[in-house]
Structure 1
Amino acid sequence: MLLYTSCGVGEACKEGPIGNPLVQLVVCAGFDFPHNSPNLETLKRIWRNFTTRLHPANDDDNSETANFPRPTPLTMSTSKVKTGQLWNKSKDDLIKQLGELKSELGQLRIQKITSSGSKLNKIHDLRKSIARVLTVVNLKQRQQLRLFYKNKKYLPLDLRPKQTRAIRRRLSPEEKSKTLEKTKKRATHFPRRKYGVKVR
């Protein structure tokens, strides 16, 4: 014979072996059982009465799954920003939109702390939208800098090709061909001697 004990809502049941997850849900919801093992139909009836107060089931659905609480669907946020729409905007518009998104994100974070955690999906969308706006701002700024430094002798380090440390320090063909004046005079006055073998 199994003994079931009741406990507060949200607390774990510490006494009695509970093998059925439905039994665990009903017991943890705060219902008292007699000292005999209830059958599955009794558990379903108790759970049905408990869940209809929280989630009224549809009249159309007569399946057994209607007796159990359904997870609350996450609502999709309307604050998604598409990258294709950002390229035609000016820098001022992008900065303004970025400020609006950041302020909205701050408000949602405050609401998440004060209320339930149902704002997680919208916070995720806002963070990704902020990242998209920042990416477009950065790429447009780099594009303008490349045009500005196009014919200059030196480029900023972040605009130069990455490559590797050894390749970046390697001499160019023009630098390799350069020689000192002293070396040129030595090669002129003391050229390499050429020897020939005379065959009789």
Structure 2
Amino acid sequence: MARIKVHELRDKSKIDLQNQLQELKAELALLRVAKVTGGAPNKLSKIKVVRKSIAQVLTVTSQKQKSALREAYKNKKFIPLDLRPKKTRAIRRRLTKHQLSLETEREKKKEMYFPIRKYAIKV
């Protein structure tokens, strides 16, 4: 089997991808048997290509699954941890913009009664 192009895999449905994965795994099993029995060198070099193809199919499958989940949770209040943006721990614990802008009553009164003085320089 020739190398698989990933852009072709992205167009396939989930069932087609599963079928292709089964075919590739079966082919890999045959190639491994040929390796043990002392098969032709071209079959031995084909193992790497088939393994890479299996990895590509699995990657496309997981990417499709994740994008479907992202779409499902798009406007929900709570999102699973693995779908949230990956940030540093400190950034995740930071206050939100709304929380930062909140002021206590005392702060509001202090600001109102003692505003910052504005000076104008006479030229």
Scaled by the length of structure 1, the TM-score of the pair is 0.50
Q: Which has the higher contact order (CA 8 A, sep 6+)?
A: 2
Q: Residue 117 of structure 1: CA displacement? A: 6.4
RMSD, aligned CA: 2.2
- Structure 1 residue aligned with 2:37: 114
Q: Residue 176 of structure 1: CA displacement? A: 2.3
- Structure 2 residue aligned with 1:49: none
Question: In structure 1, how many angstroms separate the alpha carbons of the residues matched to 2:65 and 2:14?
Answer: 9
- Structure 1 residue aligned with 2:117: none
- Structure 2 residue aligned with 1:173: 97
Q: 1:96 and 2:19 equivalent?
A: yes
Identify the structure with the greater helix proportion.
2
Q: Which of residues 54, 58, 67 in structure 2 aligns to 1:130?
A: 54
Q: Residue 95 of structure 1: CA displacement? A: 0.8
Map Cα deviations across residues 52-89 of structure 1 (whole Å, 9 max, x no partner): xxxxxxxxxxxxxxxxxxxxxxxxxx332111211111
Map Cα deviations across residues 114-162 of structure 1 (whole Å, 9 max, x no partner): 1146222110000110111111111111111111111011222121111
Please identify runs of 4+ aligned residues in structure 1 that moved more than 4 A: none
Map Cα deviations across residues 16-49 of structure 1 (whole Å, 9 max, x no partner): xxxxxxxxxxxxxxxxxxxxxxxxxxxxxxxxxx
SS in 2 for 1:87: helix
**Number of residue-to-residue matches in the alignment:** 111
Q: Which runs of 5+ in 1 are unaligned?
A: 1-77, 195-200
Q: 1:157 and 2:66 equivalent?
A: no
Scaled by the length of structure 2, the TM-score of the pair is 0.78
Question: In structure 1, how many angstroms separate the alpha carbons of the residues matched to 2:16 and 2:39?
Answer: 33
Q: Which of residues 147, 156, 162 in structure 1 aligns to 2:71?
A: 147
